[in-house]
């Protein structure tokens, strides 16, 4: 579904990553990890066709990425919506269907039914008519999932969708995404700071750090050796009770200390 | 006391007066429609300060036209569009935008004051541009107003959906192919046009009473993207037309009437909104985590749908 060859992305002089070659298959769950500023969001922006690669090639389903493509769904890095936003959950989802079209657009029963369906699928039907600004973080994120699925995409790009959610809601959101992938073979690219909530469903990990990267299964990438090489300093990866804890200079997963990640981002 | 009352409200010869200000009433209705709709985006995009900034340059344009003896509406359109272009070109990011507006605003006001000081005509004309007027709308001006309003409405109809998307949810809108960056200056121009015609009636200092208050009031009582602009339009129209009719015969400018009605509507809507938040919308939040169960939750949803 996604094919990157010798890809590089840089803003001016600053190279975020280079020589990235990666094939992501249909129905695959790819976790993208790395400290702040390592270029995770930028990778998604490249996949969305919003920034061009500075080198190499990228194809989505065999074609170059195109802005507004219906086969790609997107959940942005969380930013809560303004409290007075004059939209209800159902309206936000509807914008995902036809919000890019010119004109007023009166909706009609087909679109209304589709919105109901999408909301029900993610369990957001109870608050379909509640203003989005009044939803809790977890509720807003469910509605975001429904919106991202509005075009029935074959690839879902999620940018830190678990940020500031409690454990219950984290589980609810990851299960929604995993179910979608299993039932519809949707490819999921999941940017996260925290690998533990998705350990059970991750097929492969792309770890970005300091201009370099590492790709492989969780057990290949999340090791002291691999991460130490990536960061160029000693990093300890400890597996304990089904969880992965990363300790050392860069804590980009496990019990992450954000100050450590931020420092790493500057290098 | 009675004298003061008669200065503020005076309904003698009302029928004859009404005939005199027919143009103003029509203009008021047009402005209500435009202000209510454009205001919806002003509030969504957090642009009240831009409205104020544009209106000062629009005022400079209008007073320049007054001084030169040319069409005042055309003058304010020129001022507005120059301001809109400057803001659109220089202020992509919100922080830049506000400081640019802060720089433009006093400059526009100063320029306008200069032009008015040089102007030797009727004093009422001068004052009117700042604080509003009702009698000065002649047929030529009215056709300028109507023409500009038509352009605004056509642009709004075309831009409505993507502009809404880009205003409330820019990241996803951009991912879905909405030209988010291009829409910002485009809307600023629509806003410039709306400001230019609004200052003809309510004056440069009080444009926000049309382009912000009604929409802000509407958004207090509904989150429906259909009802919000409709209510906003209704509020704006009631404010201008109602204000004009109350101001008839009095020696006071129209603006205090318009702003008072507009503000009262806002207060009432705030009250209603606060009650709604605590009862219907808020009660839902008191429920425990709803999970996937659908049955019991249909009731509040349906109740809201009826009012929302
Ligand atoms: N449009 C841009 N122009 C220049 N630099 C950018 C731009 N977008 C992001 N950056 C920089 O690129 C780096 C990576 O950003 P990002 O992809 O958001 O990282 P992450 O999501 O991993 O935290 C950051 O240092 C950021 O400042
Ligand atoms: Mg990011």
Testing the interface with A: which of B168, B216, B226, B289 to mutate, by most A Cβ within 10 A? B168
Question: Encoding tokens for residue B133?
Answer: 């007027």
The predicted pLDDT at position A149 comes to 97
ipTM score: 0.90
For residue B179, the tally of other CB atoms under 10 A from its CB is 15
Residues in chain A within 8 Å Cβ distance of B169 = 81, 92, 95
- A264 vs A89, which has greater pLDDT? A89
The predicted pLDDT at position B87 comes to 87
Question: Residues A175-188: pLDDT tens digits?
Answer: 999 999 999 999 99
Determine if ligand 1 sits within 6 Å of the CB of residue A41: yes
Q: Report yes or no: B129 and B203 within 8 Å, Cβ to Cβ.
A: yes
How many residues does this entry show for chain A? Answer: 267
Q: Report yes or no: A253 and A195 within 8 Å, Cβ to Cβ.
A: yes
Residues in chain A within 8 Å Cβ distance of B269 = none
Q: Report yes or no: A236 and A248 within 8 Å, Cβ to Cβ.
A: yes
- Nearest-atom index, ligand 1, CA of A77: 21
Gap between the Cα atoms of A87 and A129, Å rounded: 9
The predicted pLDDT at position B92 comes to 66
| Residue to mutate (ligand 1; options A31, A35, A39, A267; most atoms within 8 A of CB) | A39
Q: Report yes or no: B198 and B222 within 8 Å, Cβ to Cβ.
A: no
The predicted pLDDT at position B284 comes to 61
Asked if A99 reaches chain B (Cβ–Cβ under 8 Å), the answer is yes
The predicted pLDDT at position A66 comes to 94
The predicted pLDDT at position B2 comes to 76
Question: Residues B202-223: pLDDT tens digits?
Answer: 899 889 999 999 999 999 999 9
Question: Residues A8-64: pLDDT tens digits?
Answer: 999 998 999 999 999 999 999 999 999 999 999 999 999 999 999 999 999 999 999
Residue nearest to atom 20 of ligand 1 (CA): A37
- First vs last Cα of chain A: how many Å apart? 33
Gap between the Cα atoms of A213 and A33, Å rounded: 10
Largest CA distance in chain A: 59
Gap between the Cα atoms of B269 and A86, Å rounded: 14
| Neighbour-count burial of B49, counting CB atoms closer than 10 A to its CB (0-12 exposed, 13-18 middle, 19+ buried) | middle
Asked if B290 reaches chain A (Cβ–Cβ under 8 Å), the answer is yes
Residue nearest to atom 10 of ligand 1 (CA): A11
Helix and strand numbers (H, E) in chain A are 8, 11
Question: Residues B19-43: pLDDT tens digits?
Answer: 777 888 899 999 999 999 999 999 9
Gap between the Cα atoms of A264 and A210, Å rounded: 8
Question: Residues B260-303: pLDDT tens digits?
Answer: 999 999 999 999 999 888 777 665 654 444 443 333 333 333 33
State what percent of residues in chain B have pLDDT above 70: 89
Q: Report yes or no: A20 and A212 within 8 Å, Cβ to Cβ.
A: no
Residues A99-125, mean pLDDT to the nearest whole number: 93
Ligand with minimal distance to A42 CA? 1
Determine if ligand 1 sits within 6 Å of the CB of residue A40: yes
Residue nearest to atom 26 of ligand 1 (CA): A37
Separation of A264 CA from ligand 1 center, angstroms?
A: 14
Name the CA dihedral angle for B188, A83, B170, B80, rounded to a multiple of 10 degrees. 0
- pLDDT confidence tier of residue A153, bands split at 50, 70 and 90: very high
pTM: 0.89
CB within 8 Å: A86 and B222: yes
How many residues does this entry show for chain B? Answer: 308
B109 pLDDT more than 60: yes
Residues in chain A within 8 Å Cβ distance of B172 = 74, 76, 95-96, 147-148
**Range 57-76 of A in CB contact (< 8 A) with B:** 67-69, 72, 74, 76
- pLDDT confidence tier of residue B252, bands split at 50, 70 and 90: confident
The predicted pLDDT at position B34 comes to 97
Gap between the Cα atoms of B263 and B257, Å rounded: 10
In chain A, % helix, strand, coil (3-state, to 5) comes to 35, 25, 40
CA distance A211 to chain B (A): 25
Determine if ligand 1 sits within 6 Å of the CB of residue A153: no
Q: Considering just the CA atoms, what is the radius of gyration of chain B in Å?
A: 21
CB within 8 Å: A86 and B224: yes
- DSSP type of residue B135: T
Residue nearest to atom 3 of ligand 1 (CA): A11
Gap between the Cα atoms of A114 and A149, Å rounded: 11
Separation of B100 CA from ligand 1 center, angstroms?
A: 26
- pLDDT confidence tier of residue B134, bands split at 50, 70 and 90: low
| Residue to mutate (ligand 1; options A37, A40, A44; most atoms within 8 A of CB) | A37
The predicted pLDDT at position B146 comes to 96
Residue nearest to atom 11 of ligand 1 (CA): A37
A112 pLDDT more than 60: yes
For residue B291, the tally of other CB atoms under 10 A from its CB is 11
Kindly give the pairing relationship between strand A55-60 and strand A2-11: antiparallel
Give Cβ neighbours of residue A109 (< 8 Å, ≥ 6 apart).
none
> For chain A, where are the E strands, in sequence order?
2-11, 14-24, 29-33, 55-60, 72-75, 155-159, 187-191, 204-209, 212-216, 235-240, 243-248
Asked if A123 reaches chain B (Cβ–Cβ under 8 Å), the answer is yes
CA distance B78 to chain A (A): 28
- A176 vs A241, which has greater pLDDT? A176
């Amino acid at each position: 579904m996604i094919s990157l060859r010798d890809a590089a992305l840089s803003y001016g002089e600053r190279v975020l990553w280079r020589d990235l070659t990666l094939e992501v298959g249909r129905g695959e769950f790819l976790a993208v990890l790395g400290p702040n500023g390592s270029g995770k969001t930028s990778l998604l922006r490249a996949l969305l066709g919003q920034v061009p690669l500075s080198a190499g090639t990228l194809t989505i389903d065999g074609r170059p990425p195109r802005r507004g493509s219906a086969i790609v769904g997107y959940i942005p890095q969380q930013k809560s919506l303004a409290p007075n936003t004059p939209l209800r959950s159902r309206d936000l989802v509807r914008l995902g269907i036809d919000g890019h079209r010119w004109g007023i657009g009166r909706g009609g029963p087909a679109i209304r039914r589709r919105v109901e369906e999408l909301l029900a699928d993610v369990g957001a039907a109870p608050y379909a008519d509640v203003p989005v600004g009044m939803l809790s973080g977890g509720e807003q994120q469910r509605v975001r999932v429904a919106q991202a699925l509005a075009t029935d995409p074959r690839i879902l790009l999620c940018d830190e969708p678990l940020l500031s959610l409690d454990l219950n809601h984290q589980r609810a959101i990851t299960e929604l995404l995993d179910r979608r992938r299993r039932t519809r073979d949707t490819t999921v690219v999941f940017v996260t700071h925290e690998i533990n909530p998705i350990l059970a469903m991750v097929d492969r990990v792309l770890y970005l750090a300091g201009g370099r990267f590492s790709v492989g299964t969780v057990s290949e990438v999340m090791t002291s050796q691999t991460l130490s090489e990536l960061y160029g300093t000693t990093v300890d990866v400890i597996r304990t009770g089904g969880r992965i804890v990363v300790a050392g200079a860069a804590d980009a997963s496990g019990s992450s200390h954000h100050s450590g990640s931020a420092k790493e981002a500057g290098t | 006391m009675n004298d003061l009352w008669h200065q503020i409200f005076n309904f003698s010869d009302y029928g004859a007066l009404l005939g005199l200000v027919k143009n103003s009433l029509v203009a008021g209705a047009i402005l209500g429609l435009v202000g209510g709709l454009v205001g919806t985006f002003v509030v969504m995009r957090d642009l009240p300060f831009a409205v104020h900034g544009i209106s000062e340059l629009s005022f400079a344009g209008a007073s320049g036209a007054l001084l030169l003896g040319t069409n005042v509406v055309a003058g304010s359109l020129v001022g507005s569009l120059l301001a809109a272009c400057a803001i659109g070109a220089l202020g992509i990011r919100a922080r830049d935008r506000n400081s640019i507006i802060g720089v433009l605003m006093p400059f526009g006001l100063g320029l306008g004051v200069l032009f008015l000081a040089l102007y030797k005509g009727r004093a009422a004309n001068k004052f009117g541009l700042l604080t509003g007027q009702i009698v000065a709308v002649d047929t030529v001006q009215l056709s300028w107003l109507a023409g500009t309003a038509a352009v605004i409405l056509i642009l709004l109809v075309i831009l409505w959906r993507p502009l809404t998307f880009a205003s409330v949810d820019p990241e996803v809108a951009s991912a879905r192919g909405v030209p988010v960056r291009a829409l910002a200056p485009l809307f600023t121009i629509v806003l410039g046009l709306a400001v230019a015609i609004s200052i003809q009636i309510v004056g440069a200092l009080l444009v926000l009473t049309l382009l912000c208050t009604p929409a802000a009031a509407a958004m207090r009582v509904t989150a429906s993207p259909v009802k919000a602009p409709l209510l906003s339009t209704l509020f704006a129209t009631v404010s201008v037309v109602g204000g004009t009719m109350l101001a008839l015969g009095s020696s006071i400018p129209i603006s205090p009437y318009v702003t008072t009605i507009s503000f009262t509507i806002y207060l009432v809507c705030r009250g209603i909104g606060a009650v709604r938040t605590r009862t219907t919308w808020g009660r839902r939040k008191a429920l425990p985590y709803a999970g996937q169960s659908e049955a019991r939750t249909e009731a509040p949803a349906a109740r809201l749908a009826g009012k929302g």
